[in-house]
Amino acid sequence: VKAKIAVNGYGTIGKRVADAVRAQDDMEVVGISKTKPNYEAAVAHQLGYDIYAPAANLEAFEKAGMPAAGTVEEMVEKADLVVDCTPGGIGEKNKPMYEKAGVKAIWQGGEKHSLTGFSFNAICNYEKAVGRDLVRVVSCNTTALCRAIYPIDKELGVKKARVILARRATDPNDVKKGPINAIVPDPIKLPSHHGPDVKSVLPQINITSAALKIPTTLMHVHTVNMEVEKDCTVDDVKNIFGSQPRIRFVGQGMSSTAEIMEFARDMKRPRNDMWENCIWPESITVGDKELYFFQAVHQESIVVPENVDAIRAMMELESDGAKSIEKTNKAIGLSK
Ligand code: NAD
């Protein structure tokens, strides 16, 4: 029998998680929830997902010609595990509903670590998530940093990591937020939360960060600097990154996030998703036990395979993280 998964909140992350779960052979989507019968709900309906909605809005779905299968509470009752993809800060309010139904739950990076007491990244701590009831999958930026820092720490020992993040201002579908003509140090008070959030997964890492919001919607770009314990060469670092299942080297004329997104479109990735960290191998610079590189991060999709792996661990469908990562990658079409 397949694990029964509900996706509460079908926005940027939720719609991608639903499709990625559907692509696996050991789990299935029992329902997705939408608050309103908008265009995204219409597509979910077309894709054959059972849509659930808040009780007060059921009539609106009926009127819009896409009758809901029931209330959000009813969806939760049908599931073994709920992936909460509601906006940051909203998700925590759903905890009592999940507890009442006795279901396992995953939240996203917009929620605090303390909500679940366990923050997840597949490469770093899959095994510790096995059998857990409550897990937080860390944010897009934290996911990318964990994937890059963990293997370097394992092979070379990270003494300290310093990160500058150029963050996309908002997602491509968002018409409400800016900036459209400014660079915003965000937050001005340092450090930003991004680097320190890595410690929720890798407490041993000495890391701080600063972040700037810039007028783009495509991707984030990180400038990463690490001081390491062992002497190493550029090739050593390339070999470490090259062996990682969710790190892709970008080159071949891809000198910007715009070209990486075009590449994802050309590869016919769903929604032009780039699930991997995109590292420019030419940027990898090493000297005096210190290394630097640039990586681009597709915020809309990077956490999607991690959600699938978190489900597999929590539902005890696979005890080996490397095997789950391979299975997830293959099913969604992530091949390097
Ligand atoms: P989103 O706004 O695109 O989607 C949220 C969805 O939840 C929307 O469909 C909204 O209608 C719905 N919703 C709102 N209130 C609800 C409620 N009370 N009950 C059920 N559904 C409700 O948000 P998102 O970007 O997908 O973010 C979801 C989570 O993922 C947040 O924690 C965020 O921090 C995290 N995250 C976002 C990104 C990103 O770049 N977009 C990356 C990584 C992690």
Length of the chain counted residue by residue = 336
DSSP symbol at 50? P
CA of 13 to the centre of ligand 1 (A): 6
Contact present, 208 and 142 (Cβ < 8 Å): no
The residue to mutate among 39, 40, 106, 108, having the most atoms of ligand 1 within 8 angstroms of its beta carbon, is: 108
Q: How many CA atoms lie within 13 A of 315 on its CB side?
A: 24
CATH number at residue 311: 3.40.50.720
CATH number at residue 257: 3.30.360.10
- 41 and 171 in a single domain? The answer is no
CA of 107 to the centre of ligand 1 (A): 10
Active-site residue (options: 124, 140, 146, 232)? 140
- 208 and 312 in a single domain? The answer is no
Is the shortest distance between the CB of 10 and ligand 1 below 6 Å?
A: yes
- 118 and 158 in a single domain? The answer is no
- 151 and 134 in a single domain? The answer is no
Is the shortest distance between the CB of 307 and ligand 1 below 6 Å?
A: no
Pick the atom of ligand 1 nearest to 299's CA. Answer: 40
Predicted pLDDT at 336: 78
Pick the atom of ligand 1 nearest to 111's CA. Answer: 32
- 285 and 309 in a single domain? The answer is no
CA 138 to chain centre: 7
The residue to mutate among 7, 10, 12, having the most atoms of ligand 1 within 8 angstroms of its beta carbon, is: 12
- 128 and 234 in a single domain? The answer is no
- 249 and 150 in a single domain? The answer is yes
- 155 and 291 in a single domain? The answer is yes
| β-strand pairing of 134-137 with 104-107 | parallel
CA of 97 to the centre of ligand 1 (A): 18
Nearest residue (CA) to ligand 1, atom 9: 11
- 178 and 293 in a single domain? The answer is yes
The complex's ipTM? 0.98
- 286 and 323 in a single domain? The answer is no
Split into its structural domains, the chain has a count of 2
Is the shortest distance between the CB of 11 and ligand 1 below 6 Å?
A: yes
- 266 and 232 in a single domain? The answer is yes
Q: Tally Cβ neighbours within 10 Å of residue 14.
A: 23
Is the shortest distance between the CB of 9 and ligand 1 below 6 Å?
A: yes
The four Cα atoms 48, 51, 57, 58 give a dihedral, to 10 degrees, of 80
Q: Which of 132, 131, 130 minimizes the C-alpha distance to 117? A: 132
Euclidean distance between CA atoms 220 and 52, whole angstroms = 33
Is the shortest distance between the CB of 141 and ligand 1 below 6 Å?
A: no
- 160 and 128 in a single domain? The answer is no
140 is catalytic: yes
Nearest residue (CA) to ligand 1, atom 11: 35
Mean pLDDT by 10 residues, the chain (336 residues): 98 98 98 97 97 97 97 98 98 98 98 98 98 98 98 98 98 96 97 97 98 98 98 98 98 97 98 98 97 98 99 98 98 93
| Host domain of residue 107 | 3-138+303-332
Residues 6+ apart with CB under 8 A from 175: none
Is the shortest distance between the CB of 219 and ligand 1 below 6 Å?
A: no
